[in-house]
Structure formats: structure tokens, C-alpha cells
Amino acid sequence: MLATAGRDTHIRIYDETTKSLFLNLKEKGDLPGHSNRIFCVKFNPIIPQVLVSGGWDNTIQIYDTREKGPVASIYGPHVCGDSIDFRNDGVTLLTGSYRQDDALQTWDLRTLKCTRTYEWDGLDGGKSFVDKDNVLIPKVDNQDDDKEHMQRFKPQSPPMLYASMFNRK
């Protein structure tokens, strides 16, 4: 199965064998689904019929393909990139939010509660890294000391988070 999502707030699941639309997920009963653009969709590694999505509406929506719609939601994360991941246990979710505070959080999908918020200062507030062609690289002491050049790459506030994932083995 392949899941797609975007600005129309629907999640479409395709059968990769037949290359055809299998399911279109939006709302079900009292659960409205997303109300704004969706940026990330992930299947549960343990329960393949369950997937989660996040986007600009500050919610994580939990869908079950057997129910043909959302089964629960979590309010909080502001997802703007590939910043949702499952731990291998299938019940712990990591989210990365595009905001200054509480950017990295883990959630228990059994209780729908935040289990931990990680302190993240955006790579040392940008002091130890410079941007080279949209890639953050460590700053070396003997690097060009042109203050104007370096000032362009020093953020006034910590960089926001676009992607997060658990360590994979």
C-alpha cells in the first residue's frame, strides 16, 4: 500500500499491485479528519492497517483502513515536513513541530498522551553550524571569517524542525 496526502486534506491509499485507488480517507462520524494541508503520512510498522498523519492544523490524525476513516486524534504538533515516525513497538510516536517550544515530542498511541518533550535548541542555536547550499555543516575555525558572510547564516532564533525519526538499525 502507498499513502498520499496534501492540501486537499484527504489521504489516498493506493494498491501498489494494481496501481489503483484502494481507499480515500477524510472524516468518519464525529471525527472530522484534517482541516488543513497534510505534510506527513506514516504507516504503523506493527499494525499495517493503521496510519497517522500530521499537518498545518496542529493535529495528528490516526486512521484505520478497516474502519475507513479516523479513529482518534492528538492535538498539538504542527507538522510541516517529514517529521512523524513510529518506534518499532508500534505504540510510540515521535513528532517534530515547526515551532520554537516543544518541537520534539513522543506520544503513546494507547493513551493519546505526550510521554516526553525533548529540549532542542536547533543545533546549538546555529552557533556551531553554517549553511552551505542549504546543508548545515560544522563551522571550522580557519573558515572564511568574513563577518557579513557568516552573519547571513546565523539565525536570529533557533532553526525550526522539519524532519525527525527514531534511530534505525
User: If pLDDT is split at 50, 70 and 90, which confidence band does 117 have?
Assistant: confident
Assess whether pLDDT exceeds 50 at residue 157. no
Residue 151 sits at the vertex; the CA angle it makes with 157 and 141, to the nearest 5 degrees, is 105
What is the model's pLDDT at position 122?
57
Assess whether pLDDT exceeds 60 at residue 145. no
Dump pLDDT digits (tens) for 96-105.
888 878 888 8
Dump pLDDT digits (tens) for 74-83.
999 999 988 8
Question: Is the Cα dihedral 76, 81, 87, 88 positive or negative?
Answer: positive
Find all residues with CB under 8 Å of 2, minimum gap 6, and list them: 13, 14, 16
What is the model's pLDDT at position 107?
94
Torsion angles phi and psi, residue 125, rounded to 5 = 65, 15
Instruction: Specify the CATH number of the domain 2-120.
Output: 2.130.10.10
The residue behind cell 492535538 is 75
Dump pLDDT digits (tens) for 22-69.
999 998 888 899 999 999 999 999 999 999 999 999 999 999 999 999
Domain segments of the chain: what residues? 2-120
Dump pLDDT digits (tens) for 24-33.
999 888 889 9
Q: Which of 36, 168, 40 has the alpha carbon at shortest distance from 95?
A: 40
